[in-house]
Copies of this chain bind each other. A is one copy, B any other.
Amino acid sequence: MSTIRPLSQADHPPEPGTLTDRICEQLKTAIVRGELAQGCKLNEPALAARYGISRGPLREALRRLEGLGLVVHVPHAGARVITLSRTEVLQIYHVREALEGMAARLAAELMTPAEIVELRSLLARHAHRIAADGGRAYFQQEGDTDFHDRIACASGNPGLVQMLRGELYHRLRMYRYQSSQQAARPAKALQEHEQIVDAIAERDGELAETLMRRHIRRARRAVAEQIRSEFEQPIHFVAEENR
């Protein structure tokens, strides 16, 4: 079984191989950060010129982003950045609940003692940071992602990891970046994380799944509540040439 590494540490090899890979990464971060606004049309000649490449690799990169669910492609009409409605954001949490619950269950069976120790130290660092500066929003979110990513990896199920890391997380990060969402309830979340690790350490997969699902359901409710309190326009602002 191929072990799956968390992506926390350096994921910036000095020089990725192919142009398609590089452009794909650049576009991905641009989309997640909102530099390419939601619903924004992705003009092939313009983008190719902007990144100094030809249309061929760019098209392949777009096709790959389509596979990641960050871009929608309509034949003869071009590609657009996806638009994340509030409904869709909440739906992502349903999928997360299902997948990460299963990941926690599997992790409880497979995680090595060393990995559990490392996971605890990760939570200790989070606790320290929260105590120090109240957990500045951005790093808090990244820390949360880091925790969940490690559990996903520990499931030993590459397909599951692929779905979470390759599709859900990007869209969630996109929402977080572009919404004014502050990391609500960091201390509470940390406590829930610790309970989950406890369950894993006791090899109680059933409990780990239950706790993870409850944890994500609460996060979902927090997002739903925040969305409800926003009567303003969509998540950020809608691209001029939308729809």
Q: Which of A127-135, A158-166, A223-231 contacts B (4 or more CB under 8 A)?
A: A158-166
CB contacts (< 8 Å) of A106 on chain B: these are: 94
A14 lies within 8 A of chain B by Cβ: no
Interface set of A (CB-CB < 8 Å, partner B): 1, 17-18, 21, 56, 59-60, 63-64, 66-69, 75-76, 87-88, 91-92, 94-95, 97-99, 101-102, 106, 157-160, 162-163, 167-168
CB atoms of B98 and A17 under 8 A apart: no
Copies in the complex: 2
- In Å, the complex CA distance between A76 and B17 comes to 9
CB atoms of B18 and A88 under 8 A apart: no
The secondary structure that dominates the A interface is helix
- In Å, the complex CA distance between A133 and B68 comes to 43
- Shortest CB-to-CB span from A57 to chain B, Å, is 10
Q: Give the most central of A76, A102, A106: most B CB within 10 Å.
A: A102
- Shortest CB-to-CB span from A157 to chain B, Å, is 5
CB atoms of B158 and A91 under 8 A apart: yes
CB atoms of B91 and A160 under 8 A apart: yes
- Can you give 19 contacting A-B residue pairs, CB < 8 Å? A17-B75, A17-B76, A18-B76, A21-B75, A56-B56, A63-B64, A69-B159, A69-B162, A88-B158, A91-B159, A94-B106, A94-B157, A95-B102, A95-B157, A95-B159, A95-B163, A98-B101, A99-B99, A159-B167
